[in-house]
Amino acid sequence: MNNHVLLEIGIEELPARFIDDAEQQLLNKTTKWLQDLHIEFKSIESFSTPRRLAIRIKDIATHQTTIKEEVRGPQTKIAKDESGNWTKAAIGFSKGQGKSPEDIYVQEVKGVEYIFVEKVTEGKPTSDVLPGLKDIISSIHFPQTMRWGSGSYRYARPIRWIVALLNDTVIPFEIANVTTSNKTYGHRFLGEEAIIEDPLTYENILKENYVIVDPKEREQLILEQIKTIEEEEGFHIQVEPELLNEVRNLVEYPTAFHGSFAEEYLKLPQETLITSMAEHQRYFPVMTKEEDALLPYFVSVRNGDDQQIENVARGNEKVLRARLADGAFFYEEDKSNSIEFYNDKLKTVIFQEKIGTTYEKVEKVVTLTEKLTDYLHVDSTVAAQAKRTAEVCKFDLMTSMVGEFPELQGIMGEKYALHFGEDKEVAKGIKEHYYPVQSNGGLPTTDVGAIVSVADKLDTIVSCISVGLIPTGSQDPLGLRRQAIGILRIAKEQKWDISVETLISFAVELYDVNDEAEEEIHSFFANRVSFILSERGIEQDIIQAVIKKKIGVLNYSLQKAQILSEKRNDPTFKPVQESLVRIMNLSKQATTFEVDATLFETDSEVKLHEQTNVVAETFVTHQENYEAAEALDALATLAKPIHDFFEHNMVMADDEKVKQNRLALVNNIAKLIAQYADITLIEWKQHH
């Protein structure tokens, strides 16, 4: 008979955002647990709904695999005394492994003799081990946990039942006063209590009780139902993946339906309506077939069947009507004031208690914007637009609409700025200065948006780190990592010829940043650059070689890293690499860059010195033009003269002046190479 295991944790409604991660943890932790225990199985699958997390293990072995292993003890010289008898160390070792000295044997490892015993761990029956599933349930991490009743046990939500079965036999254990059984529960209103006698019947038993336990199946059902509505009504229903994912995790038995709202609300900005529907009601907005205009309809998903669905639709329409009425009121009220009115209110809002108000932050963003526009030599129109954008970039935070719908920050800023007569570029800049909203989200499309976005994010990062607010582990409540990646992506996309160090210096000048905090800021950005380069397949040693001394201009550093990554595997580059690495290693012994040509004793010295001077000029030009391939080619022309120099000269000459002069020559070349990368950090491939 094939053996199958089912584990279902029945919980009070889990927040939708907890479910996918918890399901994945349950699957991964169970898989690893079985592997660590040497219990073989054919497959393992996971399930989840708002009220349950479950796994099923198919074709599990009846016993753990018996393990035979050689255990190494101390060296023979320690294990035996002068008479050849086993010492206390040897006897203690064998006893510790459940063996006796008679079981000891000697083997040689890399020329050294050690004592060994063979240890056999007999596999226990799987049924004896399975109660350990209790520990997996307890080990699942959630963003927040709670206690309930008088107990001290903490979990995301109260545990109400646990199904734990090996075939038709209950696996016995207890958690938080809940004892395992074969009893599950269907849909809260439509389903009933049900007995599971075979793990393979799990999905069908719950389906009979209006629960679809496979989240992907629920998602597919929702999409099919939406498609049916589209075909019947001639709509285009906008399905955002994130909202779809959330909705499938809010229901156990999905039934899609549509409702309507008054056309008069279409005069509100489209984003307002979509946000109100999606963020607050979890509704899918309905568009014309051309997808260019919103229609006065919405699609929602009920947790249940289609009985009396018209009543459900009417109830949802009533709730939405109240929401949209609030939105319309806020919209008209907000337009009756002015940008200056809202900007002035920012003086009462604390951005961060150790840093100051949002109004003071805006003043810093204006200063940084001016520094950026000066450095980047943008034309006067863009500079003026960027400055104005910076001055008003946060005004909409004080409007009622953004107060009610924080997701609309920037979006309403653009709408209201146009209403108040601001330049189109300024209005767009207000919206775009929040971009990217996620690390990999869309970037600003305008110069104005890009400049103010970088200024704002730079100010946030430097001000926070300067007062000790540094992200740790997975904790980054202010989103500093996301903002740093945003800055780097914008600088790269815009092809700005500005080093990351220069950017940081602009903001550091505005705050009282001590040396330790400044070092922390540089390290913080270096880690983000390393992340961006590694995402492009660049190896860690090459990343360190390029950015350890200085990050520089991101696009140029990326070019250099990509070229060095290619050269690592290029056998024709080996002579160049060997010459340049040898120079850099030897330069560590040099103390000066002053070369005296009168002290040269050989032609190879003269030629290397002359070639270095020629290359230096060419190399610097390529560096200044951010031409990575050409700059490395220039350095590569030094490979032969370097080889000849080492062939015909003893660098560590007896004559101290000659020695120091040769080291100075080496040092000058190393200084050039180091401007490109510290190639001694690269693990070069050995080509034969």
561: left (phi over 0), alpha (psi -120 to 50) or beta: alpha
Enumerate the H helices of 40-183 as residue ranges.
Answer: 76-79, 88-96, 126-129, 133-139
Which range is most confident: 291-295, 397-401, 571-575, 615-619? 397-401
Pick 143 or 166 by higher pLDDT: 166
Report yes or no: 683 and 541 within 8 Å, Cβ to Cβ.
Answer: yes
Q: Name the helix (H) or strand (E) containing 582.
A: helix 574-587
Banded model confidence at residue 606, pLDDT cuts 50, 70, 90: confident
Average pLDDT over residues 564-578: 88
Q: DSSP class of residue 442?
A: P
Cis peptide before 436 (omega within 30 of 0): yes
Average pLDDT over residues 504-529: 90
Which class for 207: exposed (0-12), middle (13-18), buried (19 or more C-beta within 10 A)?
middle
Return the structure tokens found at 655.
Answer: 């004559």
- Whole-prediction pTM: 0.76
What strands lie across the sheet with 169-170, from one edge to the other?
A: 43-49, 52-58, 5-11, 159-166, 169-170
State pLDDT tens for residues 554-565: 999 999 999 999
Spell out the domain ranges in the chain.
Answer: 5-63+126-208, 67-121, 215-335, 349-556, 570-681
Answer for the pair 120, 131: CB distance below 8 angstroms, yes or no.
Answer: no
Please tell me the predicted confidence (pLDDT) of residue 348.
Answer: 94
Choice among 174-188, 440-454, 609-623 with the minimum mean pLDDT = 609-623
**In which region does residue 588 sit, left (phi positive, over 0), alpha (psi from -120 to 50) or beta (all else)?**
alpha
Name the β-bridge partners of 255.
302
CA pair distance 46, 52, nearest whole angstrom: 11
Q: What is the pLDDT at residue 675? A: 92
- CA-based R_g, the chain, Å: 34
pLDDT band at 652 (very low <50, low <70, confident <90, very high): confident
Euclidean distance between CA atoms 561 and 116, whole angstroms: 49
How large a percentage of the chain has pLDDT more than 90? 70
Question: What integer pLDDT is reported at residue 248 of this predicted model?
Answer: 97
| DSSP calls for 205-216 | HHHHTT----HH
pLDDT of residue 121 exceeding 90, the answer is: no
pLDDT (average), residues 659-665: 85
Residue 307: alpha-carbon gap to chain centroid:
43
pLDDT at 687 over 70: no
| pLDDT value for 605 | 86
Question: Higher-confidence residue: 646 or 453?
Answer: 453
Residue type at position 101: P
pLDDT of res. 664: 87
Q: Point out the least confidently predicted range of 241-245, 255-259, 458-462, 656-660.
A: 656-660
State how far the Cα of 174 lies from the Cα of 26, in Å rounded to an integer. Answer: 18
Confidence of residue 688 (pLDDT cuts 50, 70, 90): very low
Q: Which amino acid makes up residue 557?
A: S
**Positive or negative: CA dihedral 629, 630, 635, 638:** positive
Assign domain 570-681 to its CATH architecture.
Answer: Orthogonal Bundle (1.10)
Out of 164-173, 311-320, 518-527, 565-574, least confident range: 565-574
User: Residue 1: pLDDT above 70?
Assistant: no
pLDDT single digits (tens) 324-353: 998 899 999 999 999 999 999 999 999 988
Placement of tokens 């008054």 in the chain = 262
Q: Is the pLDDT of residue 108 over 60?
A: yes
What tens digit of pLDDT does each residue of 263-293 get? Answer: 999 998 888 898 889 888 899 999 987 767 8
Return d(Cα 178, Cα 180) in angstroms, integer.
7
Q: Which letter does DSSP use for residue 226 in this model?
A: H
Looking at residue 156, its pLDDT comes to 95
Average pLDDT over residues 522-535: 92
The mean-pLDDT minimum among 238-247, 281-290, 648-657 falls in 648-657
| pLDDT at site 660 | 84
How far is Cα 327 from Cα 325, in angstroms, rounded to an integer?
Answer: 5
pLDDT tens-place string over residues 255-265? 999 999 999 99
Beta bridge partners of 45: 56
Q: What does the pLDDT read at residue 185?
A: 98
Residue percentage of the chain with pLDDT more than 70: 99
What is the pLDDT, as a whole number, of residue 425?
Answer: 97
Contact (Cβ atoms closer than 8 angstroms) between residue 513 and residue 467: no
Q: Which residue has the higher pLDDT, 603 or 417?
A: 417
By the 10 Å C-beta count (0-12 exposed, 13-18 middle, 19+ buried), 151 is classed as: exposed
Residue 355 belongs to what H/E stretch?
none
Query: Rounded to whole angstroms, how far apart are CA atoms 574 and 101?
Result: 56
77-81, 187-191, 601-605: the lowest-pLDDT one:
601-605
Terminal C-alpha separation, the chain:
57
Is residue 472 classed as helix, strand or coil in its secondary structure? strand
Q: So what's the pLDDT on residue 608? A: 83
pLDDT digits (tens, 9 = 90+) for 166-222: 999 999 999 999 999 999 999 999 999 999 999 999 999 999 999 999 999 999 999
Would you call 148 helix, strand, or coil by DSSP? coil
**Structure confidence at residue 679 as a pLDDT band (50, 70, 90):** confident
* Cβ proximity of 682 and 667 under 8 Å: no
| pLDDT tier at 587, thresholds 50, 70, 90 | confident
The packing angle between helices 447-466 and 380-392, to 10°, is 50
Report whether pLDDT(404) > 90. no
Q: Given this model, what pLDDT does residue 686 score?
A: 59
- Kind and range of the H or E run holding 159: strand 159-166
C-beta atoms surrounding 212 within 10 Å: 22
pLDDT classification of 602: cutoffs 50, 70, 90: confident
pLDDT at 48 over 90: yes
- Which tokens hold the place of 249? 């995790």
